[in-house]
């Protein structure tokens, strides 16, 4: 469990908080590029790290992220006219470019130079892999974007999704780095006989209590969870935590899976989940002959239509208001462990059920929580080191350390799990010798 002080430190992300200051050192996924579909398209309200911001794409196709309130007298720039390479406030006509420069002040005399003295808060944006990134930190020259493999692929090779979750960002992240829940929350009704005996799925449901090894990395932390496998081997699941809020889950075959998930805080009690994956690796997974009860719901299915309010983007149709469409009859008949349809919805239900910000002073952690414990420690130590000593957080100035992968593998019982998977964990490496059907 965490102390009340540490729980506050690691969950609060607004301006001036230790974790918020740390996160602002990194580029942050702000929205999907498709949310600003064309030059001069409609502005979008974006809540990010506790700040209300307005995203827009100017006449030249450049994305901008600017303060909500016009610097003049506070009218919302969401209602602004997006025209002629700037966003014009409809209250008095003041107009701002994507970098916050005031380029027109039509209610001031022609001889006035006041517009040169006014600037809106605007955050640098970059667009890559279908994602618009924002840098909200203090550097004049922002660091490089992290070398996240699926985000560096051509747009036609990337599968993207975004889903909002109504709880603190850490609850989402901790779900991703907790491998033992797979055999219960998602596969609890699946028995070994329902799967192919030579696949990861078989060994997952055959032994639902894996053992763990956890190590620190230069980008965050990594775990290896192992359990008995075939013919004197062990089945290992390798997953990554990457600063400040990324996870690479071990659902596919190590060496083939190209996937990263970001748990981006909107504010302390809402997050936006971004999934970035390789189309090729997802096609491989979908071609696997899996039992129908184990088919995964893709993130992004069954979403409500987006609205224009601060929390109106990418909301699941199944939510707390309808109990996530739980089917108690299926649960009673043991056809489904939870009765909640869809893996992402199952995750959403349990993490939102913890409350807006879970009180970690009351939890009781076991051996299966070693990765959760390690990641919390890494986050807290990094935030304090940056606040107290100015120590640059991991990965900020080393984009290359993000070039890693996650997934599962069969290894000999006496293998060194780190040495045996060194090549398989490298991004941008092809492994035609591997069979995606192993995942099951």
- pLDDT score, position 281: 79
Q: What is the 3-state secondary structure (H, E, C) of the chain?
A: CCCHHHHHHHHCCCCCCHHHHHHCCCEEEEEEHHHCCCCCCCCEEEEECCEEEEEEECCCCCEEEEECECCCCCCEHHHCEEECCEEECCCCCCEECCCCEEEECCCCCCCCCHHHHCECCEECEEEECCEEEEECCCCCCCCCCCCCHHHHCCHHHEEEEEEEECCCHHHHHHHHCCHHHHHHHHCCCCCHHHCCCCCHHHHHHHCCCCEEEEEECCCEEEEEEEEECCCCEEEEEEEEEECCCEEECCCCECCCCCEEEEEEEEECCEEEEEEEEEHHHHHHHHCCCCCHHHCCCCCCCCECCCCCCCCCCCCECCCHHHHHHCCHHHHHCCCCCCCCCCHHHHHHHHHHHCCCCCCCCCCCCCHHHHHHHHHHHHHHHHHHHHHHHCCCCCCCCCHHHHCECCEEEEEECCCCHHHHCCCCCECCCCCCCCCHHHHC
- pLDDT score, position 289: 37
- pLDDT score, position 311: 98
Domains and CATH numbers, the chain: 27-140 (2.102.10.10), 150-439 (3.90.380.10)
pLDDT > 70? residue 288: no
pTM beyond 0.85: yes
β-bridge pairing 86-88 and 95-96: antiparallel
pLDDT > 60? residue 286: no
Assigned token pair, 354: 């913890």
pLDDT classification of 291: cutoffs 50, 70, 90? very low
Give the sheet arrangement for strand 44-48, strand by strand. Answer: 44-48, 51-57, 63-67, 122-123
| Mean predicted lDDT score pLDDT of the chain | 94
pLDDT classification of 285: cutoffs 50, 70, 90? low
**Alpha-carbon distance 78 to 90, whole Å?**
10
Burial annotation 267-291 (CB, 10 A radius, 16+ → b, else e): bbbbbbbbbbbbeebbebbeebebb
- pLDDT score, position 381: 98
Tell me the average pLDDT across 374-378. Answer: 98
pLDDT > 80? residue 364: yes
- pLDDT score, position 301: 55
pLDDT classification of 295: cutoffs 50, 70, 90? very low
- pLDDT score, position 440: 86
Tell me the average pLDDT across 215-243. Answer: 97
- Find how far residue 232's CA is from the centre of its chain: 36
pLDDT classification of 294: cutoffs 50, 70, 90? very low
- pLDDT score, position 137: 98
Residue with tokens 């039509």: 106
């Amino acid at each position: 469990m965490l102390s009340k002080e540490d729980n506050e430190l690691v969950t609060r992300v607004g301006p001036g908080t230790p974790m918020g200051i740390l996160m602002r050192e990194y580029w942050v996924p702000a929205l999907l590029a498709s949310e600003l579909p064309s030059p001069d398209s409609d502005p979008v309200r974006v809540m990010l790290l506790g700040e209300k911001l307005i995203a827009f794409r100017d006449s030249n196709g450049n994305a901008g992220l600017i303060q909500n309130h016009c610097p003049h007298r506070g009218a919302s720039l969401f209602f602004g006219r997006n025209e002629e390479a700037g966003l014009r406030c409809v209250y008095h006509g003041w107009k701002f470019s994507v970098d916050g420069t005031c380029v027109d002040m039509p209610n001031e005399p022609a001889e006035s130079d006041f517009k040169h003295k006014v600037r809106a808060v605007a955050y640098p944006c970059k667009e890559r892999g279908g994602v618009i990134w924002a840098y909200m930190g203090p550097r004049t020259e922002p660091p490089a974007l992290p070398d996240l493999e699926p985000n560096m692929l051509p747009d036609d090779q990337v599968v993207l999704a975004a889903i909002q979750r109504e709880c603190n960002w850490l609850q989402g992240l901790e779900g991703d780095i907790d491998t033992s829940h797979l055999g219960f929350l998602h596969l609890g009704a699946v028995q070994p006989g329902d799967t192919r005996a030579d696949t990861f799925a078989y060994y997952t449901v055959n032994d639902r209590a894996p053992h763990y090894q956890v190590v620190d990395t230069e980008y965050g932390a990594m775990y290896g969870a192992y359990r008995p496998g075939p013919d004197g081997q062990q089945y290992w699941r390798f997953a990554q935590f990457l600063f400040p809020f990324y996870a690479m889950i071990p659902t596919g075959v190590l060496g083939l899976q190209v996937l990263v998930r970001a748990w981006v805080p909107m504010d302390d009690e809402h997050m936006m989940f971004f999934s970035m994956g390789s189309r090729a690796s997802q096609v491989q997974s979908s071609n696997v002959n899996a039992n129908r009860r184990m088919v995964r719901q893709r993130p992004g299915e069954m979403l409500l239509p987006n609205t224009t309010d601060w929390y109106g983007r990418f909301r699941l149709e199944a939510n707390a208001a309808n109990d996530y469409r739980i089917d108690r009859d299926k649960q009673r008949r043991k056809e489904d462990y939870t009765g909640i349809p869809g893996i992402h919805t199952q995750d959403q239900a349990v993490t939102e059920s913890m409350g807006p910000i879970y009180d970690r002073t009351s939890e009781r952690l076991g051996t299966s929580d070693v990765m959760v414990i390690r990641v919390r420690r890494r986050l807290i130590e990094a935030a304090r080191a940056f606040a107290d000593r100015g120590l640059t957080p991991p990965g900020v100035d080393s984009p290359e350390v993000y070039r890693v992968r996650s997934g599962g593998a069969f290894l000999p019982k006496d293998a060194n799990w780190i040495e045996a998977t060194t090549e398989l964990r490298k991004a941008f490496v092809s492994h035609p010798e591997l069979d995606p059907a192993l995942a099951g």
